[in-house]
Amino acid sequence: MAEPVPAPNPTDLLTRLPKVDLHCHLLGTVRAATFGELARRERLDLPESPEAIYAGINSRPPDPELYRSTRIPMPQGRSPDEPETSYSLFQASEWVRAVVRTPEDLSRIAYEACADAFLGSGTRHLEFSFDMIPGHLAPIGYAGVVEAMADGIRRAEGEFAMTARMLAAIDRSGSAQEALEWIRTVVEHPHEYVVGIGLDNLENSGPPERFAEAYALAGAAGLGRTAHTSEHVPAATNAVTCLDVLGCDRLDHGYFILEDDEVVARMRAEQVPFTVASTTSRRSWRPWRRASIAAMIEAGINVFPASDDPAMFPTTLLNEYLIQHEQIGTSLEHLGRMALAGIDACWLPEPAKSELRARSEAEIADLLAGRPA
């Protein structure tokens, strides 16, 4: 009689699971050690070491009165793990942004983002976003900035069994005209490694329809479209707008779609892809985030994990998968389906996407069956 196949060890299986990360901000990947080295070079006066700053990131939530009656109760007080000295994610990001100065810096942080994703999480494809070019990088120009980051990606692709692409992100705290000019720059300087656009920063800044013209321009150029939505505003409306007005192919976050049963039904029927992150810089919101993701899964929504700002939270894509299994209760089989759903939603060109899908499907089947690598 054949020996029974032992059940796979969850941590080992999830470590080896082929994953994609479609929601990751480049500035949020910068290693503390790299930040420190660049800060010393630029003589940036920091209140503490980069390691201490990262450990103290804890963004304060918006006005709690906005969230008094959400379907999934929102914590109103501080969480027990909040540090005595806190730094907002935006403040930390601005400090990092200020010390990234040269093409070599850009290439380095793009390479390190890829290396950390592959070596730390087994990420096979990464899509990271970058914002409008700050003034101190203007002499390099958009084309120079993108090519520098692409150089880092190419080096990583040459060393690791992975691919990566870039998304140009609109800062929603800016104006519609600024967004349009930014996306016009992106469209007028096409690059094979820039495959889409996104919309980030606090959703409370204003409704997404302000950026319809910029999104239409990106769509006409063949770029993929995503947006942070239903993350800070406790309503499902913005997610619908992102689909119907902005023409998004996938959505980031989306937890507040749970406020509207009709929207939930639509998202389930259309299997709209949502990138979700269990870890956030708003530490008091983490239990609510995880409960919301569990409810989205229970409702049949197409969600899959992402790392968001992995160095700064800190987290990793692997850690997000472990949280899904250990704290949210998602089965290993479902996590395998999530990994494949992420591939289906990525913006790799064909046939690379189909090849990644077929290879990953075979690997996942072997992992779940307990077959050796």
Supply the pLDDT for residue 66: 87
Q: What is the pLDDT of residues 267-285, one digit of tens each?
A: 999 999 999 999 999 999 9
Residue 272 resides in a domain: yes
Q: Which residue has the tokens 């390099």?
A: 140
Among 78-87, 109-118, 168-177, the range scoring the smallest mean pLDDT is: 78-87
> Can you give the length of the chain in residues?
373
Whole-number Å distance between alpha carbons of 51 and 36: 8
* Whether pTM exceeds 0.85: yes
pLDDT, tens digit, for every residue of 131-163? Answer: 999 999 999 999 999 999 999 999 999 999 999
Vertex 90: Cα angle to 88 and 95 (nearest 5): 100
The pLDDT of residue 4 is 55
The answer to whether residue 36 sits within a structural domain is no
Please report whether residue 254 resides in a domain: yes
* pLDDT reading at 40 higher than 60: yes
E strand or H helix that includes residue 164: strand 163-171
Asked, for residue 63, whether it belongs to a domain, the answer is no
In this structure, is residue 173 part of a structural domain? Answer: yes
Contacts of 75 by beta carbon, 8 Å cutoff, 6+ apart = 284, 285, 287, 288
Residue 331 burial (C-beta neighbours within 10 Å; 0-12, 13-18, 19+): exposed
Question: CATH no. for residue 24?
Answer: 3.20.20.140
Contacts of 57 (CB under 8 A, 6+ apart): 86, 87, 88, 89, 92, 281, 312, 313
Dist CA 203 CA 89 (whole Å): 15
Which pLDDT value is given to residue 63? 78
Q: 308 Cβ partners below 8 Å, 6+ apart?
A: 23, 24, 25, 28, 277, 279, 280, 315
Query: How many domains are there within the chain?
Result: 1
Chain CA centroid to CA 180, Å: 23
Residue keyed to tokens 């470590």 = 15
Q: Write down the pLDDT at residue 141.
A: 97
Token pair 């189909």 in the structure block, residue: 354
What is the structure's pLDDT at 64? Answer: 79
Q: Quick one: which of 156, 117, 148, 118 has its CA closest to 130?
A: 148
Residue 50 within any structural domain of the chain: no
Asked if the structure places residue 4 within a domain, the reply is no
Q: Is residue 56 part of a domain?
A: no
Calculate ∠ Cα 148-153-156, nearest 5°. 130
- Give the domain extent around 125: 10-30+100-369
Split at pLDDT 50, 70, 90, the class of 59 is confident
The reported pLDDT for the residue numbered 373 is 62
- 262 pLDDT higher than 50: yes
Q: Give yes or no for residue 69 having a pLDDT over 60.
A: yes
Angle of helix 212-220 relative to helix 176-188, nearest 10 degrees?
10
